[in-house]
A and B are shown apart, each in its own frame.
Chain A
Amino acid sequence: MKIYIYQLFERFWHWMQVLLIFTLAITGLEIHGTFELFGYRTAVWTHDTASWSLIVLVVFAIFWHFTTGEWRQYKPSMKLLKEQIEYYITGIFKGAEHPTNKLVYNKFNPLQRFTYLGLKILVIPVMGITGLSYMYLNYPNQGFQLAGLDIVAYLHTAGAYILIVFVIAHVYLTTTGHKPLSAIIAMITGWEEVDEKGARAMLADELEVALKITKARLKTDSNKSELLDTALAETEEKLGVKKDEKFRNVVANSGAGYFRINCEGIYEEVNKAWASLYKFNSPEDVIGKHYSLSRSPEEFEELEITFNKVRKGETIPHGEVTRICQDGTVGHHTVTMTPVVQGKKVVGVEGFILDTTARLLAEKELLENKIRLEQILAERDGK
């Protein structure tokens, strides 16, 4: 499956950077005395000019990152860092699955996040600052001048080596995607080929975001029932799921649960994901049953109210709900319900559910840890 992962500017920025850094590295090394190629004056000229181009490019990129919020992609994260490293050291040889997935909202693995952030906030700025110092703080015609070029030159040279090493590793690691060339093709076309699991994870991720957005909108403007459709359309677009694939089909295979209930409250259709979330063996076990089956009595009442609202034509994103599974255990999910319209009549209710149990458990654990930590701190301070 293909997803649209790199936007036009991003791709332009990337390849322009490739061109400029390559030029800078070659001419820089000639200036450094490593080899003779273009001739010294030409090398200096090209280096100085390319460096200005790079600076302009970086300014544009900074602007882009902040206006699009893409800078968040570079927020460092320790999550799965160890797994990612282990994957490169051992897993990859055994054909293990990538521990992280490329998502539109999270397209870099933790290692990438660290590396790219390091380049962006350390190496490139240092190269720029030392490079400009070479140009403008060397000769005694400016107000301020350096005592000598040595420190500047050492930093600049070290930075150059770091960038070259980065480029070698970076180019190689692009071959570790779904297929050896998929990452590079993605950077050219914007579309990246991902495996099944990757696509699903990405879909769930997107869906959740889309639903959250819808939820937020519905809260302020509850009359607009077509908003969910908009949200789904947006999701479709954001996912970059190619238009020839029917969204519902994708959903049917995704981690999101789908259900349809008729006016009598009988499940007409559920997908596999739904069934497994409720711990049924197969959708057949559910179809034909009444929806009270999966709710506690209190919640059932609440659900009935919502259900009736939807039957009247409203779309309700029912935030977080609790479900009772087949085996009696309890799970949590978000749910969105929309009316099913046939002709002009509402014939039922359909919706998606996204499992949040794991997240809730994690949040709970986090909270417990926090409380424990606070206790420990309080005790320590008490002593």
Chain B
Amino acid sequence: MKQIIYLVLIILFPFSLFAAAQSEEGVDVQSTIKLVNYVKKADRVNRKVVDHSKFSVLKQDFKRPQDVTLACLGCHTERHTEIMANNHWTWTRTEKLNGRGEVTLGKKNILNNFCIGTSSNRETCTRCHIGYGWKDETFDFNEKENIDCLVCHDLSGIYKKESGKAGYPYEGINLNVVAQSVGSPKRENCGICHYWGGGGNNVKHGDLDKAMNDCSREVDVHMGTDGEDMSCIECHITENHNITGKLYALSSENKNRVTCSQCHTDNPHQDDLINKHGLRIACQTCHIPVYAKANSTKMWWDWSSAGRLDEEGNPLHETDADGNHNYMSIKGTFVWDQNVKPEYYWFNGLADHQLITDTISEIPVQMNTLDGAYSDKGANCKTKGCSKIWPVKVHRGKQPYDVINNTLVQVKTYAKNKGEHAYWKDFNWDESIAAGMEYVGLPYSGEYGFVETEMYWPLNHQVSPASQSLTCIDCHTNSTDGRLASLTDFYMPGRDSNAWIDNIGLILIILSFIGVCIHGGLRIIMRKNCLHD
């Protein structure tokens, strides 16, 4: 008997091991969260290292914003060389594109499916350029005084760039106040461009929204002002003006990334099975269950319906119940959405792009193909991290293309005045496309149409508190609205099964059950007969 008790103990031993591992899990997430390279808010010491209001050079009478830049560089010498290498300045970078060699790509020349492209519209687009005066291709990228230090370093909040002014600030801003209140960028500095990309708040990313200047932990667990209150550069660690992190939708190579694991390590969970999931699933997938939590984001942009004017020939604005534009004569029709569930794709950090010179081979046109597949793992791995499942905002729409040449086109949308072939003034596609294509030096056949396009925006921000992250059955379910219902290039327990095996199995179980009942029933009946005999 004793031996048996020992045996029971040995055999149930795994249970005790696993149970011990489990019990650690229940502990409060906040207090046990494993962090490296990070100082918690409570432990941070806020020291003011320098007070710019004491420098006389910043008290001079600044005639031009460039004079502020020169004053900055007077002390911070050589910093301009760092800036000039930064693609916030160049709007372009040379990267290896999968299977096409080196390509020079960036905001300067790429097309998207929002405002289409910056070429031929520089004057207004460069409002988000960290420089002064990039209104056309004559802009001198080697002129250091053209650098706009203030847009990033102003902490007074009164510095603003003006629309259509090629990056110059509004007239009349007190540049002395601004210059004397500079410091490390705050979220407002980054946000002024990164929230507003695509011509409106949260239009592009869906996970970068002006509400994040002051939001709760529910909206963004990192930035929540009721929580850790982290600024952008807490993660986007910057040294010598090299800002880590690149827009996934535009970067082709997997480098200079910001990762969750830089603070959370590769094994952030108590539960080893979940850590293992992290080998194939980006943290973002479970931890960003929905995006556009505070304000809507644009999901659909149809340029083909643009150009409808009122009786007097004036452009229209129509707004939906939430106050979002759903029609603008200059841009077309929009669909917005809030608290959106992401779509999920394999992604290994590499992306391909539909360049303006590429012929269209696929409809909807894939503006930026995220590279990745289930099979991109182990020995087949294309990058050092292999493909993982990512949450993605997919922005869909219709935009003009050259029907004969079968390419996407650059459109001249912006001009100050009518008659300069800008679509937003003249509402003439033909002329605007011709002007846009001429600007970039590419042929236009003269015939345009509208083609559907899709652009992929992997999500990184608006991480939810752990209690709201996805759970097993959000994916491990055979329901059609399982999160991974459409990512079908691999077998996943709980979602997939072989219909043959399941059906045959079920039939066998039912048959054996029926068989047993019949056999048993007959035995009872026959036995009874025997007794009567």
| Residue B165, interface by CB 8 Å | no
| B487-530 at interface with A (beta carbon < 8 Å) | 490-498, 501-502, 504-506, 508-509, 512-513, 515-516, 519-520, 522-523, 526-527, 530
| Residue A363, interface by CB 8 Å | no
| Residue A303, interface by CB 8 Å | no
| Residue B378, interface by CB 8 Å | yes
Residues of B within 8 A of A160 (CB): 505
Cα of A158 to Cα of B503 in the assembled complex, Å: 10
Cα of A12 to Cα of B134 in the assembled complex, Å: 84
Cα of A147 to Cα of B493 in the assembled complex, Å: 15
| Residue A71, interface by CB 8 Å | no
Cα of A16 to Cα of B530 in the assembled complex, Å: 39
Residues of B within 8 A of A140 (CB): 279-280, 377-378, 381, 386
| A285-314 at interface with B (beta carbon < 8 Å) | none
Q: Is the CB of A141 within 8 A of B279?
A: yes
| Residue A56, interface by CB 8 Å | yes
| Residue B357, interface by CB 8 Å | no
| B1-30 at interface with A (beta carbon < 8 Å) | 1, 3-4, 7-8, 10-15, 17-18, 22
Cα of A103 to Cα of B369 in the assembled complex, Å: 71
Cα of A149 to Cα of B375 in the assembled complex, Å: 11
Residues of A within 8 A of B381 (CB): 140
Q: How far is the CB of A217 from chain B (nearest CB, A)?
A: 30
Q: How far is the CB of A355 from chain B (nearest CB, A)?
A: 33
Contact with B along A117-155 (1 / 0, CB 8 A): 000000000000000001000011100010111100110
Q: Is the CB of A31 within 8 A of B509?
A: no
Q: Is the CB of A32 within 8 A of B494?
A: yes
| Residue B382, interface by CB 8 Å | no
- Give the size of the chain B interface in residues (CB under 8 angstroms): 58
| Residue B338, interface by CB 8 Å | no
Identify which of A48, A139, A157 contacts B497 (C-beta below 8 A).
A157
Q: How far is the CB of B140 from chain A (nearest CB, A)?
A: 49
Identify which of A36, A50, A161, A168 contacts B501 (C-beta below 8 A).
A161
Please give me the residue from chain A that is nearest to B506 by CB atom: A161
Q: Is the CB of B508 within 8 A of A165?
A: yes
Known: A157-B498, A158-B505. A148 touches B18 (CB 8 A): no
Cα of A153 to Cα of B490 in the assembled complex, Å: 12
Known: A56-B13, A145-B378, A161-B504. A12 touches B498 (CB 8 A): no
Cα of A181 to Cα of B288 in the assembled complex, Å: 57
Tier of interface size on chain A:
35 or more
Please give me the residue from chain B that is nearest to A145 by CB atom: B378
| Residue A53, interface by CB 8 Å | yes
Contact with A along B335-379 (1 / 0, CB 8 A): 000000000000000000000000000000000000000110110
Please give me the residue from chain A that is nearest to B515 by CB atom: A169
Q: How far is the CB of A33 from chain B (nearest CB, A)?
A: 4
Q: Is the CB of B494 within 8 A of A40?
A: yes
Identify which of A16, A36, A50, A88 contacts B473 (C-beta below 8 A).
A36
| Residue B256, interface by CB 8 Å | no
| Residue A111, interface by CB 8 Å | no
Q: How far is the CB of B268 from chain A (nearest CB, A)?
A: 15
Q: Is the CB of B498 within 8 A of A45?
A: no
Identify which of A9, A40, A95, A157 contacts B476 (C-beta below 8 A).
A40
Cα of A150 to Cα of B490 in the assembled complex, Å: 8
Q: How far is the CB of A133 from chain B (nearest CB, A)?
A: 12
Q: Is the CB of A147 within 8 A of B375?
A: yes
Q: Is the CB of B10 within 8 A of A139?
A: no
| Residue A41, interface by CB 8 Å | yes
Cα of A158 to Cα of B501 in the assembled complex, Å: 6
| Residue A93, interface by CB 8 Å | yes
| Residue A213, interface by CB 8 Å | no
Q: Is the CB of A157 within 8 A of B502?
A: yes
Q: Is the CB of B11 within 8 A of A149?
A: no
Identify which of B11, B492, B501 contacts A53 (C-beta below 8 A).
B11
Most chain A CB within a 10 A radius of its CB, from B377, B491, B520, B522: B491
Contact with A along B116-144 (1 / 0, CB 8 A): 00000000000000000000000000000
Cα of A141 to Cα of B14 in the assembled complex, Å: 23
Q: Is the CB of A154 within 8 A of B490?
A: no
Contact with A along B369-405 (1 / 0, CB 8 A): 0000011011001000010000000000000000000
Q: Is the CB of B279 within 8 A of A154?
A: no
Residues of B within 8 A of A172 (CB): 516, 519-520
| Residue A358, interface by CB 8 Å | no
Residues of B within 8 A of A227 (CB): none
| Residue A92, interface by CB 8 Å | yes
Q: Is the CB of A161 within 8 A of B516?
A: no
| Residue A57, interface by CB 8 Å | yes
Cα of A228 to Cα of B207 in the assembled complex, Å: 91
Cα of A139 to Cα of B381 in the assembled complex, Å: 13
Contact with B along A6-27 (1 / 0, CB 8 A): 0011001000100000000000
Cα of A149 to Cα of B530 in the assembled complex, Å: 55
Please give me the residue from chain A that is nearest to B387 by CB atom: A140
Residues of A within 8 A of B512 (CB): 165, 168-169
Cα of A56 to Cα of B375 in the assembled complex, Å: 34
Residues of A within 8 A of B494 (CB): 31-33, 40
Closest 9 CB pairs of A and B: A161-B505, A40-B472, A52-B14, A150-B491, A172-B516, A149-B491, A93-B526, A140-B378, A140-B377
Since A12-B8, A40-B472, A150-B496 are in contact, a sample of 15 more A-B pairs with Cβ atoms closer than 8 Å, ordered by chain A residue number, is A41-B271, A45-B18, A49-B17, A53-B14, A60-B7, A92-B523, A94-B526, A95-B527, A140-B279, A140-B378, A145-B377, A148-B490, A153-B497, A158-B501, A164-B505
Residues of A near any B CB (own CB < 8 A): 8-9, 12, 16, 31-33, 36, 39-41, 44-45, 48-50, 52-53, 56-57, 60, 88, 92-95, 134, 139-141, 145, 147-150, 153-154, 157-158, 160-162, 164-165, 168-169, 172, 175
Q: List 15 A-B contacts (CB under 8 A).
A: A12-B8, A16-B11, A33-B476, A41-B271, A44-B472, A50-B14, A95-B527, A139-B276, A140-B381, A141-B276, A150-B498, A157-B498, A157-B501, A160-B505, A164-B509
